[in-house]
A = this chain, B = another copy of it.
Amino acid sequence: MQRRIVECVPNFSEGRRQEVIDAIVESIRDVGGVLLLDVSSDADHNRSVVTFAGEPEAVLEGAFAAIRTAAEKINLDEHQGQHPRIGAADVVPFVPLQGMTLDDCAVMARRLGQRVGDELGIPVYLYAHTATRPDRQDLQAIRRGGYETLKEAVLTDPNKQPDFGPARLGTAGATVIGARVPLVAFNVFLTTDDVQIARRIAAAVRHSSGGYHYLKSLGFLVKGRAQVSMNFTDPTRTPIARVVETIRREAARYGVSIHHTELVGLIPQGAVLDAAGWYLQLDALRPGQVLETALRSALDAHPEWE
* Interfacial residues, chain A to chain B (CB-CB below 8 A): 3, 5, 7, 33, 35-38, 51, 53, 97, 182, 240-241, 244, 258-263, 265-269, 272-273, 275-276, 279-285, 288-296, 298-299, 301-302, 305-306
Contact = CB atoms under 8 A, between A and B. Distances in A.
Given A3-B305, A260-B283, A290 B276 contact: no
Nearest to A240: B280
Please tell me how many copies of the chain the complex holds: 2
A182 B294 CA distance: 14
Contact of A269 (B288, B291, B306): B291
Given A35-B302, A272-B272, A295 B261 contact: no
Given A35-B299, A293-B269, A262 B275 contact: no
A156 to B, nearest CB: 42
Contact of A261 (B97, B240, B281, B306): B281
Given A279-B275, A279-B279, A295-B35, A263 B289 contact: yes
Contacts of A301: 35
B295 A267 contact: no
A225 to B, nearest CB: 13
Contacts of A3: 305-306
A161 B135 CA distance: 79
A11 B99 CA distance: 39
Contact of A290 (B259, B261, B266, B285): B266
A126 B53 CA distance: 48
Contact of A295 (B37, B276, B282, B302): B37
Contact of A35 (B241, B244, B279, B298): B298
B261 A294 contact: no
Contact of A276 (B37, B265, B275, B302): B275
Which interface residue of A33, A295, A306 has the most chain B CB atoms within 10 A? A295
Contacts of A299: 35
A261 B275 contact: no
A295 B260 CA distance: 27
A294 B38 contact: yes
Contact of A267 (B258, B265, B290): B290
Contact of A279 (B51, B241, B262, B292): B241
A282 to B, nearest CB: 5
A258 B302 CA distance: 40
B241 A294 contact: no
Contacts of A268: 290-292
The 3 closest A-B pairs by CB, nearest first: A35-B298, A279-B279, A275-B276
B267 A284 contact: no
Contacts of A7: 291
